[in-house]
Amino acid sequence: MKSNKEFVADIAKGNEALFKASQLNVADYFNSMPNQDALVEHFIGRMVNERMNMVEISNSIASMPADADPVELQNLSKQAYDEAIHFRLVKEVIEHITGEEVDVAKAIADEEAKPTAKGASLLEKYNAESDPAALAAYQLVAEGRAEAVWNTMADVIEDEFISTRYAKIAKDEGFHSTIGAMKLETLVGDAETQARVEELVSNMRKDLYEISCKNTSHNAEGQKLVSEAYGW
């Protein structure tokens, strides 16, 4: 059996193909010069996703036991706060593009009626509110992928108003992924838990890749990367 640290390091290493494929998809999407309506629709999905992250992480904090580690509470509270900032930043990006204030309630209702694929939906799918291992795995994989994707958007999008905000979001997502890695190291001390987390991570990677393809594009090189890495 691997040590806790070795196990988490291997998970992080195994995420690289997913991250690179997602970056290629995003670069293809924005280099294709989507029109304003398509951009706004895309960013509304991202805005709602950040709000969903804020709510789900906050719910996880609220359900933690009385003897929860104070540092863990602090880190998760910082993440929930960061997600609230990201929600505001993406809202500002949409308003920058359209010149109009976003009707957030309508945007959320529209997303629920005709949803785009969102990474935050996996928090509910994998019961992350009540399963610390699932939450930590989500942070390590999904937030790590988010860092890669937001950095790519910051690099590809020429509008400085947008790119500087997305670089800020990317930096925060990297911190959130680190939180997940730290927590996961405390949880994977036995072979049974390691096997369960490996299965969780495998499923999350596939879900996140499908979300990437639906939201942006389906880059052939990226498909080859994940096929070789994960056998899809």
Measured distance CA(107)–CA(116) in Å, rounded: 12
**Assigned token pair, 219:** 């880059």
* In-domain check, residue 84: yes
CATH code of residue 64? 1.20.910.10
| pLDDT of res. 111 | 86
* In-domain check, residue 232: no
Burial (Cβ within 10 Å: 0-12, 13-18, ≥19) of residue 11: buried
* In-domain check, residue 114: yes
Domain of residue 88 covers 4-227
Q: Across residues 112-127, what is the average pLDDT?
A: 83
* In-domain check, residue 25: yes
pTM of the model: 0.90
Phi-psi label, residue 157: left if phi above 0, alpha if psi -120 to 50, beta otherwise? beta
Radius of gyration (Cα) for the chain, nearest Å? 17
| pLDDT of res. 67 | 95
Is residue 119 very low, low, confident or very high in pLDDT (cuts 50, 70, 90)?
confident
Measured distance CA(54)–CA(232) in Å, rounded: 31
In total, how many domains does the chain have?
A: 1
* In-domain check, residue 27: yes
